[in-house]
Amino acid sequence: MNPVSAASPEVLDDEVTARIYEVAVLLPYPMGQKEEHQAIKEIENIFKEAGAREVSKDVWGQRGLAYTIKGSNEGNFIIYHQEINPSKVREIDTALRIVPGVLRHIVVTPPKGYRIVKYSESYEVWLKERESAGEKTKREREEEIQKSIADKAKRQVKREKTAKAETPTEVVSKEEISKKLDQLISDDSIEI
């Protein structure tokens, strides 16, 4: 074997074994902006020192926790997708354990064919759609109310027309009314 071919497999082996890992980091909420920025900077320095290459960073922001962790009921989630040499994963895991301000972290290997999705963007789209759906429901409800008001008004007009049609519309002059009243007052026999 020549020296070039002996060195080549090692270089290729390192490149081939570097793979994408998903690293989820949980920071406490509330946390001061300065402390949060410092913790994120420290986390990213750990990746940089291990020779990792950032593929994606997805900041989910504040979310509720299923249970209290170190006195926090809420936390800020950050999901990193890093291309890391597998021999460096344990080193990164250990370093993340001692970063001040990190409540929890997990490093996982996504399955083959895993598609990286930025859920924070999907969440924003979902919020807009939900808001649109809420507005649509509200508009439909308002249209329904307006229709019922219009129907009620139509029924009222119809009732009034029917009532007018049933009442006699005989026109009697004032003189005739006066004569009839005088007759009623003066006469005992009334003919109406």
pLDDT of 130 higher than 80: no
Q: How far is it, in rounded angstroms, from Cα 109 to Cα 183?
A: 110
**141 or 111: which leads in pLDDT:** 141
Average pLDDT of the chain to the nearest whole number: 78
* Residue 7 main-chain phi, psi, to 5 deg: -80, -35
DSSP string, the chain: --HHHHHHHHHHHHHHH-EEEEEEEEEEES--HHHHHHHHHHHHHHHHHTT-EEEEEEEEEEEEEEEEETTEEEEEEEEEEEEE-GGGHHHHHHHHHTSTT--EEEEE-PPTTPPP--HHHHHHHHHHHHHHHHHHHHHHHHHHHHHHHHHHHHHHHHHHHHHHHHS------HHHHHHHHHHHHH-SS---
pLDDT tens digits along 56-66: 888 887 888 88
| Per-residue pLDDT at 180 | 80
Domain 3-112 has CATH 3.30.70.60: yes
pLDDT of 12 higher than 50: no
Q: How far is it, in rounded angstroms, from Cα 112 to Cα 90?
A: 21
Residue 169 pLDDT level (bands cut at 50, 70, 90): low
How do the domains of the chain map onto residue ranges? 3-112, 118-167
Per the CB < 8 A criterion, the answer to whether 84 and 14 are in contact is no
Q: How far is it, in rounded angstroms, from Cα 99 to Cα 23?
A: 14
